A and B are shown apart, each in its own frame.
Chain A
């Protein structure tokens, strides 16, 4: 992650005289930056795996945080704020289906993403990625939230807009589907 300060950025853009203190956002700068540093890497991973497109993940990441900053929701806790952020991100990916570049189509192949660099088990990871790409977007989101983020059923339901009682069954099906694809 680039280590630029706010002043550096303002200097780079030639806007050192711009007064940004009067813009009403939901968090102050320090709180936002700390929250962003804690969550942005994981959210980028979620977005890139759900959308199957790194460029889209880059774009939607900033949009997600902006919408969080503009929201007027009183957050009870860090977890509440994080879940709300993931809900925004999920909706943005879903909405991108309506754009000129659909993401939630079956044609999205995550295996087309570039292979990882370095001495890793690239073949095995490509298999995982291919198998993951064959799932429906909602199944990818369910599994990622459950196993990559360690979210509870109620948190997953909150993020995806589903009933908590249905998460167990949906996860069961998604697990079996992914495992079957991986074992082929």
Chain B
């Protein structure tokens, strides 16, 4: 067989393959152009503006909400420390407050060992839960 004369079933050349592919994709691209029905540029622009505004507002609001949450947590911590300080002061007082403390100390509660870990752990857990619940409630209602 002479060079250049290929049998009918021979592999197509690279040029033939490229022509087949180019023709097929051009036809498909032409069809895609007729099928395409994108929304108008005005609508897309308007939606983009609205979304950008919403995202900008959310970005501004986020640090404020974090500061609020930290403030609530700090306030709760301050309250707890003040309560502890007040309890210690009452214990050492000899006046009316001291009398109240002494009468409380006479109740069965006084027999509870507050330094025991079986008492401290549940109390700590309750305090931490109360703190976390306060912050969580803040975020839930802030979203609403």
- Residues of A near any B CB (own CB < 8 A): 1-6, 8-10, 13, 15, 18, 20, 23-25, 29, 32-33, 36-37, 40-45, 48-49, 54, 58, 61-62, 65-66, 69-70, 116, 120, 124-125, 128-129, 131-132, 143-144, 147-148, 172, 175-176, 178-179, 182-183
Nearest A-chain residue to B24, judged by Cβ: A128
Is A41's CB under 8 angstroms from B33's CB? yes
- Give B112 Cβ to nearest chain A Cβ, in Å: 55
With A69-B52, A116-B34, A175-B18 as given contacts, are A2 and B25 in contact (CB-CB < 8 Å)? no
Is B48's CB under 8 angstroms from A44's CB? no
Point out the residue from B32, B40, B42, B53 that lies within 8 Å of A48, measured CB to CB: B32
Is B27's CB under 8 angstroms from A4's CB? no
Question: Once the chains are docked, how many angstroms separate the CA of A144 from the CA of B27?
Answer: 11
Is B52's CB under 8 angstroms from A25's CB? yes
Question: Once the chains are docked, how many angstroms separate the CA of A73 from the CA of B35?
Answer: 31
With A62-B39, A66-B48 as given contacts, are A179 and B32 in contact (CB-CB < 8 Å)? no
Does B120 make an interface contact (CB < 8 A)? no
Point out the residue from A2, A40, A65, A128 that lies within 8 Å of B36, measured CB to CB: A40
Contacts of A1 in B (CB 8 A): 37-40
> How many B residues face the partner with a CB closer than 8 A?
37
Point out the residue from A5, A61, A129, A132 that lies within 8 Å of B42, measured CB to CB: A5
- Residues of B near any A CB (own CB < 8 A): 12, 14, 17-18, 20-22, 24-29, 31-53, 56
Nearest B-chain residue to A40, judged by Cβ: B38
23 inter-chain pairs at a CB distance below 8 angstroms, sorted by A residue, are A8-B42, A10-B46, A33-B41, A36-B44, A36-B45, A40-B38, A49-B28, A49-B32, A58-B38, A66-B47, A69-B52, A120-B31, A124-B27, A128-B28, A129-B28, A132-B24, A132-B28, A143-B25, A148-B25, A148-B32, A172-B14, A178-B24, A183-B20
